[in-house]
């Protein structure tokens, strides 16, 4: 009887301890803030479940990493969390937060970067979509050599403007500027550098610069090579290109140009310099860069836009002035 009594006491003590442990564990995994809104959380490549739990605790999403890990120890055994961005909430129990990360796929977010954008405009889009801060993005755009290991093509000096290839990307929130830029440069490599047969640095840069001018001058694909031909013809004759888009780039404003704007002192203002600008003025698409590689051969030196987006081309300034009068009722320099 005495032995039975001792066994009963021990069993009761164990039960009390187990109950106390369970209650403590429940307390340590209950929601940290029942009113919290969902937030984004980025899991890094190679980060273990334990490391993720500890960071969730540090960042105020769960109360206790150890309690959460203990509660899911059987379900988490041998499991990993895919790197990427997830939504988490401090309004959930800690174990459920961890299980959600283990059992879910990272968020996807399609972000359209269209042709003809400046790097600053791309930066604003990424900031609006919570991919990266505009400041961080522009800081890295000015440091091309930081991405030398990410691609095989020769990077420009001073700025990645023109090489941030326009496309629709899976850019989840919190990806960061470096991750976004690497994807854009790798897409440029795959969709431009390789199809153009891996040109040398000087030739590639020239094509990207001319391609950026074509991108902002041509509305229709069947005119891209012809406009590129005009650019080459004027360069060969030492003529100023007089591309309005270069003035806007120099001003860093997209607006109607006034007569005084054409006198802007800037190396990108092709109304003042008889040469190409020192770098691209936007992110051109492949068709514009391909047109720069293979311009149409002709004798045109001028063109003027018509209401339908096509252009009237001319060989002489007198003919050009007649086209201007005919199509827009004013004077023009191209």
For residue 89, the domain's CATH number is 3.30.1490.480
Instruction: Mark whether 254 and 189 lie in a shared domain.
Output: no
Asked if the structure places residue 3 within a domain, the reply is no
Last residue of a domain, one of 167, 193, 219: 193
Asked if the structure places residue 305 within a domain, the reply is no
Instruction: Mark whether 207 and 286 lie in a shared domain.
Output: yes
For the chain, which residues score pLDDT lower than 50? 3-4, 6-22, 331-332
Instruction: Mark whether 269 and 206 lie in a shared domain.
Output: yes
Residue range of the domain that includes 35: 21-103
Asked if the structure places residue 139 within a domain, the reply is yes
Asked if the structure places residue 174 within a domain, the reply is yes
Instruction: Mark whether 188 and 220 lie in a shared domain.
Output: no
- In this predicted model, what pLDDT tens digit does every residue of 114-160 receive, in sequence order? 999 999 999 999 999 999 999 999 999 999 999 999 999 999 999 99
Q: Nearest 5°: phi and psi at 167? A: -170, 175
Asked if the structure places residue 257 within a domain, the reply is yes
Last residue of a domain, one of 42, 69, 103: 103
Instruction: Mark whether 145 and 175 lie in a shared domain.
Output: yes
Q: Nearest 5°: phi and psi at 282? A: -175, -175
First to last CA, the chain: 111
Instruction: Mark whether 116 and 170 lie in a shared domain.
Output: yes
d(CA 239, CA 276): 10
Instruction: Mark whether 119 and 79 lie in a shared domain.
Output: no
- In this predicted model, what pLDDT tens digit does every residue of 56-91 receive, in sequence order? 999 999 999 999 999 988 787 888 999 999 999 999
| Residue found by looking up tokens 């001018």 in the block | 213
Asked if the structure places residue 68 within a domain, the reply is yes
Give pLDDT, residue 20.
43
Give the total number of structural domains in the chain: 3
Instruction: Mark whether 245 and 289 lie in a shared domain.
Output: yes
Averaged pLDDT score across all residues of the chain = 91
Asked if the structure places residue 315 within a domain, the reply is no
Cα torsion 136, 251, 247, 166 to 10°: value is 20
- Based on C-alpha coordinates, what's the Rg of the chain? 30
Instruction: Mark whether 214 and 278 lie in a shared domain.
Output: yes
Instruction: Mark whether 52 and 98 lie in a shared domain.
Output: yes
Q: Which two tokens stand for residue 116?
A: 């003809």
Cα–Cα distances in angstroms (integers) from residue 275 to residues 17, 54, 271, in the given order? 83, 57, 10
Give pLDDT, residue 73.
85
Query: Which residues have a Cβ under 8 Å from the Cβ of 176 and sit 6 or more positions away?
Result: 42, 131, 132, 136
Q: Which DSSP category does 146 fall into?
A: G
Give pLDDT, residue 74.
79
Instruction: Mark whether 36 and 122 lie in a shared domain.
Output: no
DSSP H/E element including 126: helix 119-128
């Amino acid at each position: 009887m005495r032995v039975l009594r001792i066994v009963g006491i021990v069993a009761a003590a164990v039960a009390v301890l187990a109950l106390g442990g369970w209650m403590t564990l429940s307390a340590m995994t209950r929601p940290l803030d029942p009113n919290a809104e969902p937030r984004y959380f980025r899991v890094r490549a190679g980060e273990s479940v334990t490391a993720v739990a500890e960071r969730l605790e540090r960042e105020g999403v769960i109360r206790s990493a150890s309690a959460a890990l203990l509660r899911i120890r059987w379900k988490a055994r041998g499991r990993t969390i895919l790197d990427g961005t997830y939504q988490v909430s401090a309004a959930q129990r800690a174990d459920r937060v961890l299980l959600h990360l283990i059992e879910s796929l990272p968020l996807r977010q399609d972000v359209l970067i269209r042709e003809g954008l400046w790097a600053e405009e791309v930066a604003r889009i990424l900031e609006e979509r919570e991919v990266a801060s505009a400041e961080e993005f522009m800081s890295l755009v000015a440091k091309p050599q930081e991405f030398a290991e990410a691609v095989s093509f020769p990077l420009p000096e001073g700025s990645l403007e023109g090489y941030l290839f326009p496309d629709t990307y899976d850019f989840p929130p919190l990806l960061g500027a470096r991750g976004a830029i690497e994807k854009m440069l790798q897409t440029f490599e795959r969709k431009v550098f390789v199809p153009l047969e891996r040109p040398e640095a000087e030739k590639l840069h020239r094509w990207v610069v001319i391609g950026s001018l074509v991108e902002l001058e041509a509305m229709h694909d069947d005119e891209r090579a012809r406009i590129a031909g005009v650019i080459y013809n004027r360069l060969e004759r030492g003529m100023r290109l007089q591309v309005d888009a270069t003035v806007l780039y120099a001003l860093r404003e997209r607006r109607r140009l006034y007569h005084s704007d054409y006198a802007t002192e800037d190396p990108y203002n092709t109304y003042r310099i008889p040469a190409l600008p020192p770098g691209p003025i936007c992110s051109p698409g492949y068709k514009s860069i391909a047109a720069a590689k293979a311009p149409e051969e002709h004798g045109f030196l001028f063109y003027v836009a018509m209401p339908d987006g096509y252009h009237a081309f001319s060989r002489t300034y007198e003919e050009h002035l007649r086209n201007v009068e005919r199509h827009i009722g004013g004077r023009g320099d191209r």
